[in-house]
Structure 1
Amino acid sequence: MMPNKEAFTKWLSVKKTGFHHRQFLLLSLPLDEAMFFLEAVVADYKDSSVVSNNLCISHVKHIPLTRYQDYLGQQTNSLIFDARNGFHLNALYASAGMVQAGGIIVVLLASESSYKPNLGPLKFSYGYTPKTSYFTDVFIRHVKKNNGAYVDPTHSFFPSSAISSPLKQAIEHETQTNQQDWQLSKDQTDIETKITQRINAKASTGSVSIILGPRGRGKSSLIGHIASRLSAKVNNQNTPVVVSALKKRQLQRFYDVNTASQAPYEANRNAPLEKHAIQKNEIKFYAMDEITALAPPHSIVIIDELASIAPALLKRTISHFSHCILTGTTDGYEGSGNGFIHRVLPYLVSHKNTHVYTLSKPFRWLKGDTVETCLHSLLGYMPNMGSSTRTAHTTDKSLQSKINKDVLHDVQFGIIDKTILVKSNKLYAQIFTLLSDAHYQTTPNDIVRTLDANDCIIAIAYKNSSHINKANRQVLGVAILFEEGGELLSSLKHDISLGKRRVQGHLSPQALSLYLLDSDLCELKYLRINRIAVKHAHKRLNIGTNLLQFCEQYAHSTNVDCVSVSYGFTSSLYSFWLKNDFTMAKLGHRIDTASGTCSLLMLKPLRDIPKLSKSLLQFRLQIERQYLRETHKRLHTLYQSIYQTFKADFMFTDTVHKQFVNKALKRYLAKDINLEKIAPILLWLLTHDDAHILPISARSIQELILRYHEKGIHKPEKCEIEHVVFSAVSDIFRVYTEQDHLFDYL
């Protein structure tokens, strides 16, 4: 049965008349058959964009999947999204926000026979390429439920997107009031007036104004107006207005509105961004990592799309300037949006003269937009589910006590069958709402990976009820688990342990084999806990601990050697994992820009594994402790609470420790590992009393290693240091290595 092209053409022509909601159009067709529909959409909509790495259509703006963030804040009438080799859900969610009211979002889907996820935007763990996409099934079901159109080889459906009469009348009235698309609504005008008045009134003390709201609410348009108004008022006072964002390209709408509001009858809002650079009153752009150094210190600073900027960078910028205006989307998954809520907003409220404004009325699309409703339900953004970050929790104590007793009596644990999960809207919503609330850095792509990855397992704690089927269970807690290591890495283990090979996934075995210089650690079977969360109303009932114990029982039943977890370090989380008998294994060396934390790797072996003994792990951590004290004082300070759990009387006497140092030196002298990997061990050895190295030699090598780790050092100098250190270490230890007596020397 051929797709009904006549019905599609009629549906498309109807959408061009009157006021309509945005709609999804799903095409599950071979590309040659889908081209008829794509060309019709492009012909009917004057402004179209295609998001794809390998699909280009004539006269259509092309947005690479890897650069979708560059286009945040821009607008288009129709969007074609290529998902034939799997979903880049981050990109779909962000780019769908570009589509204006009445527009179409066409999603190209693969047939089951042509699905090739290894060629797609998401990378799955080595050895675990999925054969089918559970997420695609979920996506299709959500689109159909939310008034989406679809075409496949045997069926087609084109529902109406016309809006209701009351909404139509309200839109017609507003359209008559605001003749230009850059003019502000009443809500926007009120905020503009309040912010400009605050800046004028707080000229000496400073102010921070934050405009928040869901996307599509006209935040970029509003700050374009505010910038125009402020620049006109302060031109004679030598107080410049400057703007920043993650990428200048994101400010297309800002510059369009800013220019139009300065000269409403002369501005060409369809001109490219580059044209605005020559406008007389153009607001100067500074990159976020340069603004504090280059912008005049008395500037009024406007920052757009704050959710895509690291909280630490925002703090630094806001502290530097007297007046800042910030806008951004914090609901959903854009960048570090919830990171701003958790880590920056409390700081601003307590340290600066801060006021928060909210825009709630849709500006880019119409009230009741079905595309946004579909995406929110798909991504677990369900305020009515009891969100911990989006709604306040106030529970009566007597009711809480009753809840506690009921839960403790009825709680059960189990592994979720994904075939059941993808067919149950209730189960799906509970799990992913809970995960997105508990872990604010959860991204849309994490949902796709959780459903489609063969190595991913979902464990839940739920309220037991004999009369409720599996699909309708009340979820109290959830854990996302990944299988790692084993025979899959056997042929690669040597190169992995030397840092010469890195495969997708398998975080624990790869990190440990390189860190402990032991290739055999790759072949152990690990179960890594990727996420664990408990509903806010049911915390402090040991549900998390009991869920963890269930995961360990599952690991035992599947012959796993070791349970592992990697997470951003906080004292409370560290205490939780210590309480559950996990051992610290590895300290992270990089501070995450969004959370301001460093990742830790902790282990719980399920049997006696000498290669992962507590003695060896603690010795390795002592080496790291000294290394960070010498090379990264900020990290060293951050980890103080961890150091307090180390043995105070630790001595270098264990044979295991000596063997580890011998192995490291032999690999370095054989040029199997470089200075960067041996540096922590060398620094420890050079300052250890038992090493018997001449003080002058030790001091010289130590100074070179510290210089090697200084910021701003150029590559030629680093190469020279690597050569000098290698020669010096060779002179000291070569004779012992050749005679295989290095162990005795130490």
Structure 2
Amino acid sequence: MATGSFIDNPLMPSPLTADHLVAWQTWRQQLCQTGERRLLVMAGEQDWAMAQAQQLTCSEPNTLWLGQALGSQAATATNKFKTVLGQAYGALVVNAFSGLHPDALAAVAGTLMAGGVLILLCPPLAHWPQYADPDLVRYVAEPEQAKGLHSRFLSRFMQILQQDTQVLHWPQGAAFPTLPLIEKTPPWQLNSDRQGCLNDQQRHALAVLLHSARRRIPVILTADRGRGKSSVLGLTASRLLKAGLRVLLTAPSPHAVSQVLAHCAQPLVFMAPDALLAERPPADILLIDEAAAIPVALLLRLARQYCCVFASTEHGYEGTGLGFQLKFQPQLLRMQPRTQKVQLRTPARWSSTDPLEPLLFRLLALNAVAVTPTRHGKLTIRWVNQDQLLNDDMLLSQLFGLLTLAHYQTSPSDLRQLLDAPELHLAVMFRQSTPVAVALLISEGQTHTHPLTADLSLAIWRGQRRPRGHLLPQSLAFHGGLSEACQFHYHRVMRIVVHPDCQHAGLGSQLLTWLQQQMQPTALSSPAKPVLTGDFIGTSFGASPELIKFWQANGFSAVRLGQSRDAVSGLQAVMMLWPSSAAAKLQLPLWQGQFSANVHRHPCATPPLSSDSSLTGDDTCLIADSTCLVENDKAAIYQALTLLPPSDTRAQDRQIAHDFAFYHRDLSADQAALARFVASHTPLKPLSNSEQRLLAALLATGAQPTLVAKEWQLSGYKAAISQCRQLMQAFF
């Protein structure tokens, strides 16, 4: 399907001739001999680009198309890229007209074998940053907000492509590109030894895995893509099975283990992680491939049940990013101190001279690292905007490397968000010219450019709409039961981080104080010197006593504590606010009182009451959202909260009860308010004894609708919720 004309006077492209295709195949064979891969950029109309790519890959049966393809050509949707992890392909076609998804590009490029070519289909490079890229929708609240956005990420991407001499370019209207000569070098070959290993690192890894498995010692095996970790797992399984050990294999999906099975000469049983925990079959060793794509809580449960080998790709393409490194590994080492760690660095799927991998690392900042700052020198704080990042790649790399330390779910898409997301602010603390701390904020709620409308705000409150973004106002309104939450303008601190060498010196508190000083009640900002305007600075992070005390010490007050735990951190989310405007300062105590009323209904909740939420203390844990690895002790979390006395919530409880009964509000979030309302009101339509007991069971503290449904012989969760709504309607 055509996507509109980019070319004013497009020339009819010269068709691919038989000579072109012969030259292409000969060139591909040369690439195979050197063990290298290349990138071919086809820039023009989508129909033209797809047609040429189809001709070039028609004789390559092992081709992956990511994004839209022609006719009956089999293709994988861009957002389904995880289904191909663990595979190996001879050619890749990435249709950027379907959206250039950075995580997808990083992941699928690692499946390309030596001699392969990654064919990138895109608009003409000069027009590409203005193209309505479907992937931009992921960084805005409403799809229409992506229209007209200029993509700095694509501008940088395009510049790097044009600067790299190894990239082939074929713009529409031009002749088929001249294929460069491949220097004749000693042929690169995948020569396996008698054990099936390709290099010394694989041999070492195999020896460590076999030795550890026989002594029931867990192993962490990490590597970038293409290093052969899956094949090492397969070789390990084969040897252990032959020796009579019971071996099981698991991964996020069966598709992810094809390379493991291909390298195992014995029958190897695969089971999904949840099935393993449910059935608990006996095993001497459990092999876990693509472990970073499995929630940390599940990995820890598997580690308690089995002796495991955890194999994971570095750079976190699988889904939980650095969670495997920052969250899981320290907890595993505390649980199993004898755990061994092995890393594969030498490429196995392609040669060490391959130019594609370093190109992708530059394109997606996968090699970004935080520069170690000097210990002395003057500290300065200033705003850094997205145009400055685009024009200073060294600064971009330093800041992205620093931000990577701040969160366990960092992925290549975060680079695009940093460059492209509207209403994003970046405050950076420098020592001399080196970044030592950074706070990343995003505007939400009643923002200047795309505020939440009254109709949308009401739909959010009632559970009818869940637009992308606007985390604080949406969650506070829908889950927190704060009906006015969508009426305010927030600046949410998405990440705040201090370089590890500079922590424990109060720099995180200094940075927050500076941000608070930047808040102004009226719009005084200018492009040269931006100043925050709005009602609140807010934050949402995995609750731990240390982090709660840090934010409270900086004047932030808790207004919501999540009911469920994060799959990676295992922590509940807590939301905290610091008020700036007069309206915010009046509203916040009311929200605190309502939150306090809900908290005191919890059996673990006995927090100290105070009218002053300021505490003493220093910033002992400054990487918000992720650093603290303390187990989620609910009692300790409640004790750390400093709350106002519970307020009179009768009016708000009535509104919550009505909209739960007649709309789609959430039972788990509203249980406290519903219980208070029911306790103080008589239903207008009398309820039978059985109905009263069912309602009481559903509104009991910590009640789980699924278990209540089972006890009351209802069909399931949805039936229990439906019954609860019907019973609540009797009060109106």
TM-score (norm 2): 0.80
State the match for 2:485 in structure 1.
521
State the match for 1:38 in structure 2.
53
Counterpart check, 1:66 vs 2:79: yes
Deviation at 1:508, TM superposition (A): 1.8
Counterpart check, 1:662 vs 2:654: yes
What amino acid is aligned across from residue 350 of structure 2 in structure 1?
A: W
State the match for 1:678 in structure 2.
670
2:369–2:401 CA contact under 8 A, matched in 1: no
Deviation at 1:311, TM superposition (A): 1.6
Give the unaligned 5+ runs of structure 1.
263-280, 388-399, 465-472, 735-746
Give the unaligned 5+ runs of structure 2.
1-9, 521-530, 606-629
Equivalent-residue separation in structure 2 for 1:155 and 1:138 (angstroms): 24
Deviation at 1:429, TM superposition (A): 0.9
1:687–1:698 CA contact under 8 A, matched in 2: no
Equivalent-residue separation in structure 2 for 1:300 and 1:405 (angstroms): 50
2:556–2:578 CA contact under 8 A, matched in 1: yes
Quickly say closer, same or farther: Cα 1:612–1:244, change in 2 above 3 A: farther
2:430–2:437 CA contact under 8 A, matched in 1: yes
Quickly say closer, same or farther: Cα 1:76–1:462, change in 2 above 3 A: same
Counterpart check, 1:26 vs 2:18: no
State the match for 2:233 in structure 1.
223
Q: How does 1:209-358 map to 2 (within 5 A)?
A: 209-234=219-244, 239-258=245-264, 262=265, 281-321=266-306, 323-352=307-336, 353-358=338-343
Counterpart check, 1:134 vs 2:152: yes
State the match for 2:112 in structure 1.
99
State the match for 1:125 in structure 2.
141
**In the comparison of the two structures, how many residue pairs are matched?**
663
Counterpart check, 1:444 vs 2:412: yes
Counterpart check, 1:592 vs 2:552: no
Q: How far does the alpha carbon of each residue in 1:526-568 deviate from its partner, in whole angstroms, 9 at most, with x for none?
A: 2222122233333344443333344344442453122221222
Equivalent-residue separation in structure 2 for 1:595 and 1:159 (angstroms): 51
Q: How does 1:364-375 map to 2 (within 5 A)?
A: 364-375=349-360
State the match for 1:276 in structure 2.
none
2:51–2:70 CA contact under 8 A, matched in 1: no
What amino acid is aligned across from residue 238 of structure 2 in structure 1?
A: S
Larger mean CA deviation between 249-258 and 487-496 belongs to 487-496
2:662–2:725 CA contact under 8 A, matched in 1: no
Percent identical residues? 24
Q: How far does the alpha carbon of each residue in 1:275-330 deviate from its partner, in whole angstroms, 9 at most, with x for none?
A: xxxxxx42111101111333532342211111111121111112112x32222213
2:316–2:410 CA contact under 8 A, matched in 1: no
SS at 1:422's partner residue?
A: helix
Deviation at 1:628, TM superposition (A): 5.0
Counterpart check, 1:187 vs 2:201: yes
1:48–1:79 CA contact under 8 A, matched in 2: yes
Quickly say closer, same or farther: Cα 1:628–1:134, change in 2 above 3 A: farther
2:503 counterpart (539, 548, 553): 539
Quickly say closer, same or farther: Cα 1:430–1:497, change in 2 above 3 A: same
Quickly say closer, same or farther: Cα 1:629–1:382, change in 2 above 3 A: same
Structure number having the greater helix percentage: 1
Q: How does 1:254-653 map to 2 (within 5 A)?
A: 254-258=260-264, 262=265, 281-321=266-306, 323-352=307-336, 353-382=338-367, 385-386=370-371, 403-408=374-379, 411-416=380-385, 418-463=386-431, 474-486=434-446, 487-515=451-479, 517=481, 520-556=484-520, 557=531, 559-609=533-583, 613-626=587-600, 628-629=602-603, 637-638=633-634, 640-647=636-643, 650=645
Equivalent-residue separation in structure 2 for 1:139 and 1:8 (angstroms): 28
Quickly say closer, same or farther: Cα 1:380–1:181, change in 2 above 3 A: farther
What amino acid is aligned across from residue 248 of structure 1 in structure 2?
A: P
1:50 counterpart (46, 65, 86): 65
Equivalent-residue separation in structure 1 for 2:345 and 2:698 (angstroms): 57
What amino acid is aligned across from residue 497 of structure 1 in structure 2?
A: W
State the match for 1:737 in structure 2.
none
SS at 2:409's partner residue?
A: coil
1:527–1:555 CA contact under 8 A, matched in 2: no
Quickly say closer, same or farther: Cα 1:28–1:580, change in 2 above 3 A: farther
Quickly say closer, same or farther: Cα 1:565–1:639, change in 2 above 3 A: farther
SS at 2:492's partner residue?
A: strand
1:308–1:334 CA contact under 8 A, matched in 2: yes
Quickly say closer, same or farther: Cα 1:96–1:61, change in 2 above 3 A: farther
Larger mean CA deviation between 373-382 and 707-716 belongs to 707-716
Counterpart check, 1:703 vs 2:697: yes
1:297–1:320 CA contact under 8 A, matched in 2: no
Counterpart check, 1:87 vs 2:100: yes
What amino acid is aligned across from residue 659 of structure 1 in structure 2?
A: A
Equivalent-residue separation in structure 2 for 1:567 and 1:155 (angstroms): 52
TM-score (norm 1): 0.79
Deviation at 1:69, TM superposition (A): 1.0
Q: How far does the alpha carbon of each residue in 1:667-724 deviate from its partner, in whole angstroms, 9 at most, with x for none?
A: 45666756555322123456789x9x99x99877433434952555466355665566
